[in-house]
Every structure is written in structure tokens, then in C-alpha cells.
């Protein structure tokens, strides 16, 4: 399950509450503040005093739902529905759980039942609208959510949450039009000026619109309104991270953790922030601490897989093996759920498979990532090509790189690998030559490798040196390598080029010119037999 928001339908300000409403409101506020453990204790106290209130079970279920404990949430909703079958709230809870589980028929049936029972109850209508807004992809009903919220406002014109969720629904309906959503958030702020929720929503919208300064201003405004409202700080942390203000980012994230009393959910979300901040070693450390208390959160296995993949074997020689184990556990634990995977899940699994020698399996995972959003993840064909090149499966590599070229511009690296694949695989030297000629055009003017490879290909197209086809490219490659760089990464290419050109001048009876090239070969490789043979032939 992928929770989209951590803001919940509260008991509306003008709705009649039971005698324990103040205590219930406090527990709800603790849930809003993501203090799930503390809220759970508060709900248990409420139920110990009075176990007959359906609303208590619903909001206790919400506490479990937003802390990713769906089984416990479902149990609370069911108890509430069994206790008071005419109260629509708990049918909202049951319905949205069923949608998350992929049981669309029963889920919609329960949501419809909630609508029927709660037609005149603003709290039920707002909760129902929120369920439709945050339902899994394909089961959302945004227009219905707006209609429900309009009806809720007819019943309770001062319901600030109805305006907040209406803003959410309008933004989801029209992602490029933020003005209608802002209007609703501002109206909610007017109705409840002591609540930071509507202001935080405004900040998130401005962040989404890439107006980062205005987003930060809104976050700071939210802090002034409610200094202890934890969600504001994690949003600030993410914004500071985007601005490369890592010290401020970490400070805000730690404040979030502090306000939540270091409860498990806060630690889990903090681990997510650390991952976003590319602090991979710290992510692993945080996960290890969390899993000593509770190893049930599937997201932690995702975080661990990603982090071990990025860490490499520099700090942990078994990192890739551990990462593959973690990402496999993540997929195993989510296999029977209607889990919303993202392309990065398959990309990291592919990377870990490749790094542990399972190249064919890696390519399959990359294809899954591409298939999720082909237009956005065309670049992954480059990764697939690298996997096949490593495995020396050149025909497969060619296919991957050609697919990349069909959907996006090929990079210089793509062209380099494509040329090599044609050279080593089907030995299609004409297509290899084309790839390397394109590489030369795509590379900086001072980049010699394209010329060396194109020359190498031309020696295959002119195997008997009838036209000395490779000569211009070898000469250009040599020209681009400074003398002091000849002993570095280009050493083998320089020896190859100079040997070819040395033979050319020997064949053309210009030993003086040939000597220039064989001397370079001898300097780089004193034991080179061809250089020795030349100097022996000229009496040196």
C-alpha cells in the first residue's frame, strides 16, 4: 500500500460530539501529528472507559491505517461496524481497505453503504471523499469526491477539512491548475486559523509548482501556527534537501523525529528521508535499529535494497548480496497485495542482480521497469545494454541499444557500446563503423577513443591493407592524445595505432617516418616483438 497523505478527516468543528469528544479529539490530533504509538495508547484508554462508541473504533482504525498496519485497521473498522451498523464511518474504513487489497466490488459496496447511511452526516461524507481521493490508481473517483464534499459543506459550512480535501480532489483532477486548490486551502485556513494543515497543503502545492521560496514561507508559517505539528518538519527537510541545504535538511528531519517521540513510524519515515538525502550508510543503520523492534514494514526492505545497491562494496564487501536479499524480501512480502510498485523497484533489483552475476535476470527486471512507463524510462535500455555487454550477449545488447535509439537520443556511451557489440558479436563491421562515426560526432572534439575504434573496425573492412583504410582515423586518434598521456588509459590504443602506421611507412619504404612510430611503441612496451623486428631490420 502506498499512503499518499498523512492528514485525516477529523470530527468536524460544528458536528455534535459525544461527551468524550475532547479526549477523542486529542487522540485524533496525535494521529494527525503522526504520533501513532501515543495515539494508540489514547484510543485504548478511551475504549477502556467506553467500548460502545463506533467513532472511537473508526479513528483508532485510521491510526492503524496511516501507520501501514492494515490488518489491525480492518479489525477496528469491523468492530465499529458490528457495534453500530447504522454508522457509516466504519464502512468507509472497510471499503478503502478492500480497495487497497484489490477487492474492488466489495470495497465499492461498503463505500456506497457508507454514503447511504451517512447522507446527512458531514463527517461521513468527508471521510468517504478522502477515501475516493486516495484510493489506488484505477479506483479513484475524484468527481464523486468533489460532489460529496460539496454536500458536506451544505450540512456543515464551517468544516475546514471538507475544503482541504476538496482542494486535494481538484488538484488531482486538474494537476496543472493550482488556483482552485489554493482557494480551498485558504478557505480552510480562514475557518480554522489555528490549524497548520491547510497552510502546509499550500506549501506542498507551491513546492509542486517549483516555487520553492513560497513553499518554504508557507512551511515556516505552519511552524508558527503549530510548532509541534511534526509533518511540517519532514516537508521542510525534503525542501531543504532539494536546495542542497543538507544541514538544514537534517536538522528539520531530526526535529520531526524528536516531536514524534522516536516512535517506530517516525523512525521509518526518517529512514525514508535519509534515503532521499542519499545518506545510504545512515539508512542501513536506521533500518537495523528499527527492525530490532519490528521487522514487518515492507518499505524498510525496499529502502535497504536501494541503499545497499548505492553503497556498493566500498564499506561492506557483502553489500550487493545483502541488498539483493532485502529487495527480494520486499517483493516477496508484497507479492500477494495490490502493491503500487515504482520503476525504481525493478531498476534497483536489476542492478543488484547484475552486480551478483545474474545478468539475464537483471535484464528481465529492467524490462519490467521500462514497461511500467515506456516513455519515461526509455533510458533504462542503456542499462540493459550494459548488462548484456557484461555477459557478452552481444546480440541482446544490440537489441537494447537499438531500442534506446528508437525512443530517445543515444548517448556517446550507448554508441560506444553499440559499436563494440557489432564488432564482437555478429562482426557486422559496417554497422560498427556507423556507430563509431556517430560516436565521434556525439563526443567532444578532443575525445580520441571514437577514432581508435573506427580505425580498428576499418582494419577489418580492409584486412589486407589494400587501401590502408584505417590510416586517417589512427592518425587523428594519435593527434588527440598528448605525449604525456600515452602511458595512461590509452596505452594499448597508442601501441596499436603506431604499429599500424609503422607498418604503413615500412610498406611505403619510408623508414625514417616508420621509425617515429616504432620508437613510440618501444617506449611504451620495450618487449614488443614487432618493434624489435623493425629495428633489427634497419640495423638498430
Domain ranges of the chain: 1-158, 444-540
In terms of Cβ atoms closer than 10 Å to its own Cβ (0-12, 13-18, 19+), residue 530 is middle
Residue 80 CB neighbour total at 10 angstroms? 25
Mapped onto helix, strand or coil, the DSSP state of residue 526 is coil
Q: Crossing angle of helices 298-311/280-293, nearest 10°?
A: 150
Task: Please measure the distance between the N-terminal and C-terminal CA atoms of the chain and give it in whole angstroms.
Answer: 78
Q: What pLDDT is attached to residue 22?
A: 54
Let me know if domain 1-158 sits in CATH 3.30.420.40. no
CB contact at 8 A, 254 and 274? no
* Cα–Cα distance for residue pair 186/17, rounded to 1 Å: 26
444-540: CATH, from 3.90.1150.10, 1.10.287.3510, 1.10.1740.10, 1.25.40.10: 1.25.40.10
The whole-model pTM stands at 0.66
Closest CA to 520 of 450, 536, 490: 490
- State the pLDDT at residue 137: 84
3-state helix, strand, coil in the chain (%, to 5): 70, 0, 30
Query: Would you state the pLDDT for residue 272?
Result: 85
pLDDT (tens, 9 = 90+) of the chain, 540 residues, equals: 333 333 333 333 333 334 445 589 999 998 998 888 889 999 999 999 999 999 999 999 999 999 888 899 999 999 999 999 999 999 999 999 999 888 999 999 999 999 999 999 999 999 999 999 999 888 999 999 999 999 999 999 999 999 999 999 999 999 999 999 999 999 999 999 988 999 999 999 999 989 999 999 999 999 999 998 989 998 999 899 888 887 888 889 888 888 876 677 778 878 888 898 888 999 999 999 889 888 888 899 999 999 999 987 766 779 999 999 999 999 999 987 778 899 999 999 999 999 999 999 999 999 999 999 888 899 999 999 999 999 999 999 999 999 999 999 999 999 999 999 999 999 999 999 999 999 999 999 899 999 999 999 999 999 999 999 999 999 999 999 999 999 899 999 999 999 999 999 999 999 999 999 999 999 999 999 999 999 999 876
**What's the pLDDT score for residue 4?**
36
Domain 1-158 shares a fold with domain 444-540:
yes
Pairwise CA distance, residues 21 & 40, whole Å = 16
d(CA 207, CA 215): 5
Contact yes or no for 387/350 (Cβ under 8 A): yes
Amino acid at each position: 500500500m502506498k499512503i499518499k497523505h498523512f492528514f485525516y478527516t477529523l470530527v468536524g468543528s460544528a458536528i455534535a460530539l459525544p461527551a468524550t469528544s475532547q479526549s477523542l479529539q486529542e487522540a485524533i490530533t496525535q494521529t494527525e501529528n503522526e504520533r501513532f504509538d501515543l495515539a494508540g495508547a489514547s484510543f485504548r484508554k478511551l475504549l477502556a472507559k467506553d467500548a460502545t462508541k463506533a467513532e472511537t473504533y473508526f479513528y483508532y482504525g485510521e491510526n492503524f491505517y496511516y501507520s501501514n498496519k492494515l490488518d489491525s485497521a480492518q479489525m477496528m473498522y469491523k468492530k465499529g461496524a458490528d457495534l453500530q451498523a447504522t454508522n457509516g464511518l466504519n464502512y468507509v474504513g472497510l471499503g478503502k481497505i478492500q480497495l487497497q487489497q484489490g477487492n474492488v466490488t466489495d470495497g465499492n459496496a461498503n463505500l456506497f453503504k457508507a454514503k447511504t447511511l451517512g447522507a446527512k452526516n458531514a463527517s461521513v461524507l468527508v471521510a468517504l471523499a478522502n477515501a475516493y481521493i486516495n484510493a489506488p490508481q484505477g479506483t479513484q473517483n475524484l468527481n464523486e469526491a468533489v460532489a460529496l464534499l460539496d454536500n458536506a459543506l451544505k450540512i456543515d459550512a464551517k468544516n475546514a477539512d471538507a475544503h482541504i480535501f476538496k482542494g486535494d480532489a481538484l488538484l488531482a483532477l486538474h494537476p496543472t491548475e493550482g488556483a482552485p486548490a489554493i482557494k480551498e486551502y485558504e478557505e480552510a485556513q480562514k475557518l480554522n486559523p489555528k490549524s497548520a494543515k491547510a497552510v502546509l497543503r499550500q506549501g506542498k502545492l507551491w513546492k509542486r509548482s517549483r516555487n520553492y521560496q513560497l513553499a518554504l514561507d508557507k512551511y515556516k508559517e505552519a511552524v508558527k501556527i503549530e510548532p509541534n505539528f511534526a509533518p511540517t518538519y519532514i516537508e521542510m527537510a525534503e525542501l531543504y534537501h532539494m536546495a542542497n541545504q543538507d544541514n538544514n535538511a537534517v536538522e528539520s528531519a531530526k526535529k520531526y523525529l524528536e516531536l514524534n517521540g522516536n516512535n517506530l513510524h517516525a523512525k521509518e519515515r526518517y529512514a525514508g528521508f535519509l534515503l532521499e538525502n542519499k545518506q545510504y550508510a545512515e539508512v542501513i543503520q536506521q533500518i537495523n535499529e528499527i527492525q530490532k523492534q519490528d521487522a514487518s514494514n515492507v518499505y524498510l526492505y525496499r529502502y535497504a535494497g536501494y541503499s545497499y545497491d548505492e553503497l556498493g562494496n566500498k564499506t561492506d564487501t557483502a553489500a550487493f548480496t545483502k541488498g539483493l536479499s532485502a529487495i527480494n524480501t520486499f517483493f516477496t512480502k508484497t507479492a500477494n497485495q495490490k502493491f503500487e510498485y515504482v520503476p525504481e523497484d525493478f531498476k534497483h533489483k536489476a542492478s543488484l542482480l547484475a552486480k551478483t552475476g545474474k545478468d539475464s535476470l537483471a535484464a528481465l527486471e529492467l524490462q519490467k521497469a521500462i514497461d511500467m512507463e515506456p516513455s519515461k524510462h526509455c533510458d533504462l535500455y542503456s542499462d540493459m545494454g550494459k548488462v548484456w555487454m557484461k555477459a557478452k550477449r552481444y546480440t541482446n545488447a544490440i537489441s537494447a541499444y537499438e531500442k534506446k535509439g528508437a525512443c530517445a537520443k543515444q548517448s556517446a556511451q550507448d554508441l560506444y557500446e553499440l559499436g563494440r557489440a557489432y564488432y564482437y558479436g555478429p562482426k557486422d563491421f559496417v554497422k560498427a563503423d556507423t556507430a563509431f562515426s556517430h560516436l565521434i560526432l556525439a563526443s567532444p572534439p578532443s575525445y580520441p577513443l571514437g577514432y581508435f575504434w573506427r580505425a580498428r573496425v576499418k582494419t577489418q573492412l580492409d584486412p589486407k591493407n589494400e587501401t590502408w583504410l584505417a590510416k586517417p582515423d589512427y592518425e587523428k586518434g594519435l593527434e588527440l592524445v598528448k605525449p604525456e598521456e600515452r602511458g595512461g588509459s590509452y596505452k594499448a590504443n597508442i601501441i596499436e595505432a603506431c604499429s599500424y602506421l609503422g607498418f604503413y611507412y615500412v610498406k611505403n619504404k619510408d623508414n625514417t617516418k616508420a621509425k617515429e612510430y616504432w620508437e613510440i611503441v618501444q617506449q611504451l612496451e620495450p618487449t614488443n616483438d614487432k618493434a624489435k623486428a623493425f629495428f633489427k631490420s634497419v640495423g638498430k
